[in-house]
Structure 1
């Protein structure tokens, strides 16, 4: 039996929402999928600015968080309906929606100075509103289940990477460069080594913020690496950046805007000013540092030889300056994109969350403790089912068992 679902993803770059329309089925203990459509919608400028404020503890206000939670739930519903209309599919055909939500805070470790400040994470985008306005069951709030099991709550797409990309004889690194960089490292199946997954450090997050400052908000990112290409790398600034303590932490580990946010950008700018650097030089240096954080971790993962295959995804894969830096640092590795596997780079993570949501509704584990550091496997995702018709759709999954 084939199930039609939609996965929704809005990442730490805060640039918009991607929807993946997916047909999924299970045969012989194997999950099969087909991408049936896709749709992307950028956040309006005002909403993006507000999300940036909500991700900063110094500017976030509780009433604005609550309001944005409701707003995004309604916006996601509109995106689902637009996706169905684009591909001439009816709401009755749609069996489920799987929504990552928008992360505004992520603290996977205990605050040692405050016993009440325990590991936690918050993704907003009200799944009840999304269910009601689409007449469909919605799976969301994935990360909290892994954190409850003492995991990092991330990276989650690594579970799907493991299903899709692991090979018998070659090691593979699946590298996403979104707001944050994260890798799923897959040793050969025939080896005795375990796969691992973790955040490598900043992806586009710092570059985007620096570009916004440099252009007084006129540009949100460095298109084609044009600004970086006019600058030169400062070895002094690069050396200072490589002293970031996160890089030497043991994995599994995760990070986010809580570390690499506005305050971090201020420190970079202050250090660059002391060194007498112009803004293009700072952006160029941070671009190379982003590549170096990835290469640094790969050398730790496999010090004896280059990683055989590197599958690159995320917005950073469209920055030729960043990609050229990465290729120079990872000589000997074969570089591939998700497009080489028939997966549009733009919606890869939305597709992955569709699979995670499907697994939740079939009652299967959809996380691997080896990736997140959790003490046990869990079935991630909470379900909102707010109409009679949505409840009937849930019963479709009972027929799969």
Structure 2
């Protein structure tokens, strides 16, 4: 047996695996690195988050990614080059983190790499007859495996699409395995660039579980701040938005987009929710000349309204529900306060309460998906649209 496969076979036989989950989202903040110890698989998964931090992207890298990000016309050479560049950079970030933590690469069983999304194209968005759902993440897994010397599982979203899904959101798989609890109905709300929810019914029935994108999280707000407030990348604590006033005409225009009322599950990205989307809504509502602060206040309320309405679609009036926050949006105090005020009957908490740092959750979920690739079986969600019963990820060997 070759060295690669001998190592792989030994990992499969382990009772406990050490897996690094990597996640870089559409906000382009940096690379989330979560070091996890995982026992078992499926509903018997036990996980401990050992270490976590985010290695930020510098401004030059952000500019390079933005040049090929969420655009229909891009430089094909740069896509090819950035595929390798991102992978090598992520590998260096992993090695640097391990050195900082005093851990040898040989102590890590597997890296689970999501990659950097540069384009998301479900049929509901591209609308082209004869073409399937599609998505593209760069950051080649073979480069990460070779540079780190660690087996890498990558490219998770392609199997989801191949099996009939839209490539997102994938949170439902890890949320179901790790966060579902008999007797408690939970909604896992992740507010990243895009906001998504996973509904976990208290009866633990897979028939009732689903995950869906609901609309923008931070993406339009962040892009608006970057374009209109020099030296700022996001609205810290929602303070700028809090200084403005919600414009009802603009809010109504934003809420008219057909995506908002599409049935669940659905998926979207910055390809739709961007500054062009905002400009169109302002033109249609004749609100091009309202203040920057009022625009941001309205965008904040738009995000909150979409999330609130989506949660209301999930639950019955007599259902006791806890909403668990994660993602960068939890740091926007105005957004969080709006959600709580508009859903007073629900209990809110962060995933800290469940043992996972809110900022680490997505990286942890990909570590769980990698563990399922190694040790699990296809999760049986039945014949449900958008939720194929599969394991995901391609195995990239280091040698």
Q: TM-score, normalised by structure 1?
A: 0.90
Q: Which residue of 1 aligns with 2:350?
A: 337
Superposition pairs of residues 264-283 of structure 1, within 5 angstroms: 264-270=277-283, 274=287, 276-283=289-296
> CA separation in 1, counterparts of 2:385 and 2:69?
23
Q: Which of 189, 192, 212 is equivalent to 2:226?
A: 212
Shift of 1:42: 0.9
Shift of 1:102: 0.8
Shift of 1:362: 2.2
> CA separation in 1, counterparts of 2:380 and 2:279?
36
Q: Which of 44, 56, 75 is equivalent to 2:58?
A: 44
- The answer (yes or no) to whether the contact 1:105–1:123 under 8 Å persists in 2 is yes
Q: Does 1:125 align with 2:123?
A: no
Shift of 1:384: 0.8
Figure out how many residues of one structure are paired with residues of the other and give that number: 384
The 3 A distance-change label for structure 1 pair 366 and 42 is: farther
User: 59-68 vs 98-107, which deviates more?
Assistant: 59-68
Shift of 1:12: 1.3
Q: Which residue of 2 aligns with 1:395?
A: none
> CA separation in 2, counterparts of 1:200 and 1:89?
39
> CA separation in 1, counterparts of 2:84 and 2:177?
34
Q: Which residue of 1 aligns with 2:12?
A: none
Q: TM-score, normalised by structure 2?
A: 0.90
User: 294-303 vs 10-19, which deviates more?
Assistant: 294-303
Q: Which residue of 1 aligns with 2:309?
A: 296
Shift of 1:165: 2.3
Q: Which of 252, 255, 272 is equivalent to 1:242?
A: 255
Question: Secondary structure of 1:101's match?
Answer: strand
Q: Which residue of 2 aligns with 1:184?
A: 198
> CA separation in 1, counterparts of 2:148 and 2:385?
32
User: 360-369 vs 378-387, which deviates more?
Assistant: 360-369
Q: Deviations over 1:231-272 (max 9, x none)?
A: 000111111111111111111100001111342133245457
Q: Which of 190, 193, 199 is equivalent to 2:213?
A: 199
> CA separation in 1, counterparts of 2:383 and 2:170?
11
Q: Which of 17, 24, 27 is equivalent to 1:10?
A: 24
Q: Which residue of 1 aligns with 2:89?
A: 75
- The answer (yes or no) to whether the contact 2:237–2:332 under 8 Å persists in 1 is yes
Q: Deviations over 1:57-100 (max 9, x none)?
A: 25521111111111110111111112211221111111110000
User: 29-38 vs 92-101, which deviates more?
Assistant: 29-38
Shift of 1:371: 7.9
Q: Does 1:382 align with 2:394?
A: yes
User: 144-153 vs 84-93, which deviates more?
Assistant: 84-93
> CA separation in 1, counterparts of 2:104 and 2:322?
40
User: 331-340 vs 59-68, which deviates more?
Assistant: 59-68
> CA separation in 2, counterparts of 1:300 and 1:49?
38
Shift of 1:275: 5.8
User: Unaligned 5+ residue runs, structure 1?
Assistant: 388-401
> CA separation in 1, counterparts of 2:129 and 2:192?
31
- The answer (yes or no) to whether the contact 1:146–1:372 under 8 Å persists in 2 is no
Superposition pairs of residues 138-157 of structure 1, within 5 angstroms: 138-157=152-171
> CA separation in 1, counterparts of 2:344 and 2:43?
38
- The answer (yes or no) to whether the contact 2:153–2:393 under 8 Å persists in 1 is yes
Superposition pairs of residues 223-262 of structure 1, within 5 angstroms: 223-262=236-275
The 3 A distance-change label for structure 1 pair 271 and 16 is: farther
> CA separation in 1, counterparts of 2:165 and 2:329?
27
Q: Does 1:349 align with 2:353?
A: no
User: 52-61 vs 74-83, which deviates more?
Assistant: 52-61
Shift of 1:359: 1.1
- The answer (yes or no) to whether the contact 1:154–1:372 under 8 Å persists in 2 is no
